Structure 1
């Protein structure tokens, strides 16, 4: 039977696997902290309520949906995961669901980019930011940015712009970070452009910048008489990149942590917030003073918001099924892979695993040594088949 320790760094593949397992362990640690913070919040607000009824993340990958908890492994990559547990499907509150959902959204975006070029479009990535201070609440910033985007995309001049540059749809990703200047909500968008015959790229960018500045001033995000902020706004508020590829776009999102936390926590989670800030899921790992309150503010402000928005009809146009986040999170099997059941745990076994915080360690044991290694771990935790 294989040992349960970390895999030896004998090859690039083993190093990648080890890093992935470390990230997964931190995600489970983060989920455990989120569960505690959510429980504590409910106890303060309404102790008579069941925390799981208020926040689905409280029960995520903790409460059983069926009698036995299955351990499944990918037939292609040997990555293990659980089946038969409650899942919350929250990209905002849950670091595990966020990672699972992002993995599946990446496949959709790859298909979109490939379809766009095959259909004669030039996909552009447009990033929008706005001024913010440490005194701004996330809910207020979010409301003002929503209003600004509504103003950006209405009126005759916008309709004419769309026709002149052949703008036929978009995909928008909403991202939130926290840094020295407080909350920083911003968006990354893929615009599908075809036939910019009446626009050069410089004119295109200038029009978008001017429209965004007017929208932000009308929404209260930017003061018209603050010339210093307007100068910085003109430099940083809009970034446009034409002709993006799959790797260009997705690498950009990895670096900025859009659509959840893809390469999160393993090396960056302990880093203090700098000018660019950190993703709120890192609050769950670093746990500095005030992080619990900031995490609660974050999930309350973002509740019900779509992290990834597609223009109406675009998914059907590209040939992508519309799968909701909670459905995408319910099965951790990666896209285009199949999983097999390695074994199943009894309620007593699962209760022991979660009580001793060994959910990530058990998955690692399954990947390294199969079901025999899982049983060996259970024995080491004090489980006996004769009790």
Structure 2
């Protein structure tokens, strides 16, 4: 981030090692390291939002949307069907909505205010939702992209766009909830059928609803849903949405980072029958390349516009916001001790692939080993300098000050964008 400051390897009060001052790629779809940190931060945001809404007396549902798929289906085609496509103004290509966007459009949903007619949106008090897209793949059944969404219901609002405020919280009637669920199921399956009849799921499996009951449930990340399981681990709704890096593919499928891990093992010489997962190296390589292409330019996690301020949550969903999450998560704890490594020396360390060993040594407080690893990379021993707790805190405070300036600039940009943008479907 700053060549003059070098890289700070610090140990937190909990004994974890962090590398401060490094630029990070921030690729939530592709990088196991950045994805884990970003998704952890996003999961905390989602948890705060659910807790806040349930505490106010609102209703929150975890809704899972799936499409029928086969081994011959391309991931990009399936993603377009469920998530839609983005506009390409340079080439004159208009944006096409997917099944997800269709859920909250049209007169049945929004009503016809000019005629004094309300829609399903008003009867259930819809205020927005948080959407996360998850992907798995297997040789037998191919790509399986699906959407998890937390839907916030039971609210009345006044105002428009960024000035919108919640004026009343209520419990939707059973009939309104049945109408809402029926609408979501009907719109989701019918749109997929229009794209390709082979994509149409059954009414039973296409859309699944689970209600979040209480604040206590929401705060207990293993219990406040009907025991959603991932292997032997209970997954909270926040983690179900955000922590795609924790997922293991079900029914013989692999999550993307499981696929990447197998590919790495095979490229490293591990026999096919000993490496986790399935598929030979050419198949795994082709699958990963297809995954990279199909996810490019898409958001893994996205909130309905203006939902964040309604629930008192700051931030946004852009790649810049993800980078802010990455930087902010580095400083969640007090620092115990650490070292500074010159920028040039750190380049030598990474060139020799000694960075992981160096960070592991820092995590154990083996500072002499850190120096030996740096010098083994070809750098001089003076390139490593021990830092006091106060010195580390001073460097980090300067980094946070720069980060705060970036956040304010991003917030100002969002205010300008929101002031001039219509509020679609909300």
TM-score for the superposition, normalised by structure 2:
0.65
1:286 corresponds to which of 256, 262, 272: 262
Q: 1:128·1:239 contact (CA, 8 Å) conserved in 2?
A: yes
Equivalences for residues 138-157 of structure 1 within 5 A: 138-145=75-82, 146=84, 147-157=98-108
Distance in 1 between residues matched to 2:329 and 2:369, nearest whole Å: 21
Match of 1:214 in 2: 190
Distance in 1 between residues matched to 2:237 and 2:128, nearest whole Å: 23
Question: Following TM superposition, by how much is the alpha carbon of 1:198 offset from its aligned partner in structure 2, in angstroms?
Answer: 4.9
Evaluate the alpha carbon distance shift between residue 206 and residue 386 of structure 1 in structure 2; reply closer, same or farther with a 3 A threshold.
closer
Determine helix, strand or coil for the equivalent of 2:305: coil
1:162 has 2:121 as partner: yes
Match of 2:323 in 1: 326
Match of 1:252 in 2: 235
Evaluate the alpha carbon distance shift between residue 202 and residue 372 of structure 1 in structure 2; reply closer, same or farther with a 3 A threshold.
same
Evaluate the alpha carbon distance shift between residue 83 and residue 255 of structure 1 in structure 2; reply closer, same or farther with a 3 A threshold.
closer
Match of 1:70 in 2: 8
Question: Following TM superposition, by how much is the alpha carbon of 1:178 offset from its aligned partner in structure 2, in angstroms?
Answer: 1.0
Equivalences for residues 224-239 of structure 1 within 5 A: 233-239=202-208
Match of 1:175 in 2: 134
Determine helix, strand or coil for the equivalent of 2:292: helix
Distance in 1 between residues matched to 2:53 and 2:326, nearest whole Å: 27
When structure 1 is superposed on structure 2, of 137-146 and 365-374 the one drifting more is 365-374
When structure 1 is superposed on structure 2, of 348-357 and 183-192 the one drifting more is 348-357
Distance in 1 between residues matched to 2:54 and 2:239, nearest whole Å: 25
Q: 1:90·1:98 contact (CA, 8 Å) conserved in 2?
A: yes
Evaluate the alpha carbon distance shift between residue 88 and residue 189 of structure 1 in structure 2; reply closer, same or farther with a 3 A threshold.
same
Q: 2:24·2:323 contact (CA, 8 Å) conserved in 1?
A: yes
Evaluate the alpha carbon distance shift between residue 256 and residue 122 of structure 1 in structure 2; reply closer, same or farther with a 3 A threshold.
closer
Determine helix, strand or coil for the equivalent of 2:246: coil
Match of 2:211 in 1: 242
Distance in 1 between residues matched to 2:21 and 2:360, nearest whole Å: 18
Q: Which runs of 5+ in 2 are unaligned?
A: 85-97, 111-118, 155-170, 229-233, 264-279, 384-426
Question: Following TM superposition, by how much is the alpha carbon of 1:260 offset from its aligned partner in structure 2, in angstroms?
Answer: 5.0
Evaluate the alpha carbon distance shift between residue 307 and residue 291 of structure 1 in structure 2; reply closer, same or farther with a 3 A threshold.
same
Evaluate the alpha carbon distance shift between residue 210 and residue 117 of structure 1 in structure 2; reply closer, same or farther with a 3 A threshold.
same
Taking CA–CA contacts closer than 8 Å with sequence separation of 6 or more, which of the two structures ends up with the larger relative contact order?
1
| Offset from partner CA, 1:361-385 (integer Å, 9 cap, x none) | 2222112125334224445667653
Equivalences for residues 261-280 of structure 1 within 5 A: 261-263=244-246, 275=251, 277-280=253-256
| Offset from partner CA, 1:16-56 (integer Å, 9 cap, x none) | xxxxxxxxxxxxxxxxxxxxxxxxxxxxxxxxxxxxxxxxx
| Offset from partner CA, 1:149-193 (integer Å, 9 cap, x none) | 232222122222221112211111111111231111111111112
Match of 1:186 in 2: 146
Match of 1:304 in 2: 297
Q: 1:148·1:216 contact (CA, 8 Å) conserved in 2?
A: yes
Q: 2:8·2:338 contact (CA, 8 Å) conserved in 1?
A: yes
Question: Following TM superposition, by how much is the alpha carbon of 1:66 offset from its aligned partner in structure 2, in angstroms?
Answer: 1.6
1:357 has 2:353 as partner: yes
Q: How many residues of Structure 1 are paired with residues of Structure 2 in the alignment?
A: 308
Quote the RMSD (CA, aligned, Å). Answer: 3.0
Determine helix, strand or coil for the equivalent of 1:106: helix
Determine helix, strand or coil for the equivalent of 1:154: coil
Evaluate the alpha carbon distance shift between residue 302 and residue 340 of structure 1 in structure 2; reply closer, same or farther with a 3 A threshold.
farther
